[in-house]
Amino acid sequence: MSQDHYRDLLQRCAGLAAVPTIVVHPCEAGALRGALEAAEAGLIAPFLVGPRYKIEATAHAAGLDIRHLPLEDVAHSHAAAERGVALIREGRGEILMKGSLHSDELLHAVAAREGGLRTERRLSHVFAMSVPSYHKPLFVSDAAVNIFPSLDDKADICRNAIALLHVLGIKRPKIALLSAVETVTARLPSTLEAAALVVMSQRGQIDGALLDGPLAFDNAINAEAARVKGIRSEVAGDPDMLLVPDMEAGNILAKQLIYLAGADAAGIVLGARVPIVFTSRSDNAQARIASCALAVLLAAARRAAPGVPA
């Protein structure tokens, strides 16, 4: 994230105690270092879960000291995912952090009907992005979990993101519902779903935010593009979040912003019993710490008001 957005995020965490965090299978240097750096920043208290010999070998090769950290030895990444989820259920941690295992492997354990961390909400991923050419933090969802979300899934994706944005102090977040065009047409189902989501928000089925769509990316993000096309909208040109039509579009959009527009991005999975820090092997230290900071704020909000979704 930009220095200003990054500093603001860390300032929001000032005064909060380090949150017990289960770090699942940190068997790659970046994943292990990310947990240690977040601990050094006072954000989390890591509890490592994975094959001891791999974690210790990774630490030795990277010059990292983990002797002071609790470490539970399990045989492999699959066992680490299951044990990490079990430790959360046992009350040993308030945040789950993805290490170097595959995303699907961790989410499978989280979403398990027996022994998982499911809630009534659909799991969804949010990128918190700082785009140099945009005037405020920009959130993108869902670019990593739901491949082809249904209308009901998209409603939950909105609800999860709204809860996060409220915790971050955005009282009435503006959500742009993206499609390829800004007109409703049966030939593009995402436009129909966007229109339905707007009506759902107007009737209180999705509360706490201002939704508008369908919007194409240009008129969603640029007020002049919206004006030229005759779109009158409080959201166009000033969204806090972009709801993408599917994971493919969202993943491409997020990576374009990172690699072409120079954006920084923090990632988190919402909708489980606890926030899940969802980092990538390519994330820099700042992105990893920002992801942990988001989870810390959510954990604090959940502790203060147990009904607040993770």
The band of 10, judged by pLDDT with boundaries at 50, 70 and 90, is confident
> Which regions of 157-254 does DSSP assign to beta strands (E)?
174-178, 210-215, 241-243
Same domain, 141 and 115: no
135 with 253, same domain: the answer is: yes
CATH of residue 60's domain is 3.40.50.10950
* Pairwise CA distance, residues 145 & 288, whole Å: 18
130 and 80 part of one domain: no
Tell me the C-alpha distance between 74 and 88, whole Å: 16
Residues 130 and 263 in one domain: yes
Name every residue whose Cβ is closer than 8 Å to that of residue 66 and which is 6 or more positions away in sequence.
32, 36, 48, 55, 56, 59
Identify the three-state secondary structure at position 287. helix
pLDDT at residue 280, rounded to an integer: 76
**Cβ neighbours of 227 (radius 10 Å):** 14
Q: What proportion of the chain, given as a percentage, has pLDDT over 70?
A: 97
pTM score, whole prediction: 0.93
Give me the CATH number covering residue 249: 3.40.718.10
Q: Order of strands across the sheet with 174-178? A: 71-73, 44-50, 19-24, 95-98, 276-277, 264-270, 124-130, 138-141, 241-243, 174-178, 210-215
| Count of CB atoms situated within 10 Å of the CB of 90 | 9
Mean model confidence pLDDT for the chain: 93
37 exposure class (CB count in 10 Å sphere: 0-12, 13-18, 19+): middle
Whether residues 33 and 138 fall in one domain:
no
304 pLDDT tier (thresholds 50, 70, 90): confident
Whether a cis peptide bond, with omega within 30° of 0, leads into 142 is yes
Nearest CA to 20 among 91, 82, 83? 91
Q: What is the pLDDT of residues 196-249, one digit of tens each?
A: 999 999 999 999 999 999 999 999 999 999 999 999 999 999 999 999 999 999
Residues 276 and 155 in one domain: no
Q: Which residues contact 56 (CB under 8 A, 6 or more apart)?
A: 66
pLDDT band at 310 (very low <50, low <70, confident <90, very high): low
Residues 187, 108 within the same domain: no
Longest dimension (CA), the chain: 62
Whether residue 94 sits in one domain with residue 11: yes
**185 and 85 within one domain:** no
Report the pLDDT averaged over residues 285-293. 89
Task: Name all contacts of 147-153 with Cβ < 8 Å and 24+ positions apart.
Answer: 147/246, 147/247, 147/248, 148/246, 148/247, 149/122, 149/246, 149/247, 151/193, 151/196, 151/197, 152/122, 153/122, 153/124
**Residue numbers of the domain that contains 257:** 125-268
| Residue environment code for 11-36, b if the CB has 16+ CB neighbours within 10 A, otherwise e | ebbeeeebbbbbbbbbbbbbbbbbbb
For position 224, what pLDDT does the model report? 93
Does one domain contain both 299 and 196?
no
* Sign of the CA dihedral with 108 first, then 113, 117, and 120 last: positive
Mean pLDDT of 71-79: 96
Same-domain check for residues 225 and 240: yes
The arithmetic mean of pLDDT across residues 122-127, rounded, is: 96
What's the whole-number mean pLDDT along residues 294-309? 85
Tell the residue number behind the tokens 């955005």, with chain if given. 170
Indicate if 132 and 151 belong to the same structural domain.
yes
Domain count, the chain: 2
DSSP summary character for residue 75: S
